[in-house]
Amino acid sequence: MGRREIVVGIIGVLLLASVSAAQTAAPPTKFVTPLKGQGHIEVLAPQSSQQGNLLVTKMKVKNVSSGPLVGFKAEEYWYNAKGETVSGSPVFRLPKPFMPGEVIEVTLRSPKEPTMNRTLRTFGHQNGSIKATQVAKFKADS
C-alpha cells in the first residue's frame, strides 16, 4: 500500500467521523424570554385527600400569562381557628419554564394536624408575583 492510499484512507475515516458526529449532535436549545412582573394562572378546584399523616392537595394549574413563568412555585399554609399557622407543605417548584397555555399538576403535602381549620395557597415566580383565579374549567386557547 502506497502513501497515497494511506492518505486517502485517513481522509475517508476523518470525513466519516465528522459526519457521524454531526448526526449525533443535540439540537440547539431555544432561549425563551421569561415574563417579568405579575403573572396570571387559572386553577381548577383543589382536591385533597389524607394519605397516612399527610394531607395531600392536588390541583391543575394553567399559565394564562403572556410569557413563560420561570421558577414557578406553589406553597400551602394551614391555620387553626385562632389564625395561628399549624402546618404547611414544602415548596413545590417547577424545574423548567412554565410556558403560556401549558397545564401542570401541582401536588402539595402538608402534615395533618388536628387543629387544621383553613388553608392559604400562594403562587410565585422568579421575576414577580402571580395572580391566581380559581375556575370551573380552563378556557380554550385562542
**CA 66 remoteness from chain centre:** 16
Domain that holds residue 48: 39-135
Distance CA 40, CA 130 (A): 5
Number of domains in the chain: 1
- Tens-place pLDDT, residues 98-130: 999 999 999 999 999 999 999 999 999 999 999
In a domain, 94, yes or no: yes
Q: Report the CATH number at residue 121.
A: 2.60.40.10
Q: What is the pLDDT of residue 48?
A: 92
Classified as helix, coil or strand, 9 is: helix
In a domain, 4, yes or no: no
Q: What is the pLDDT of residue 8?
A: 60
CB 66 within 8 A of CB 142: no
In a domain, 23, yes or no: no
Return phi, psi of residue 10, to 5°.
-65, -45
Block residue for cell numbers 431555544:
30
Name the more confident of 8 and 103. 103
Q: What is the pLDDT of residue 7?
A: 60
In a domain, 34, yes or no: no
Total-model pTM: 0.75
- Tens-place pLDDT, residues 67-102: 999 999 999 999 999 999 999 999 999 999 999 999
Q: What is the pLDDT of residue 21?
A: 54
- Tens-place pLDDT, residues 14-34: 666 565 555 555 666 677 789
Return phi, psi of residue 66, to 5°.
-80, -10
User: How many other CB atoms are found less than 10 A from the CB of residue 70?
Assistant: 18
Classified as helix, coil or strand, 96 is: coil
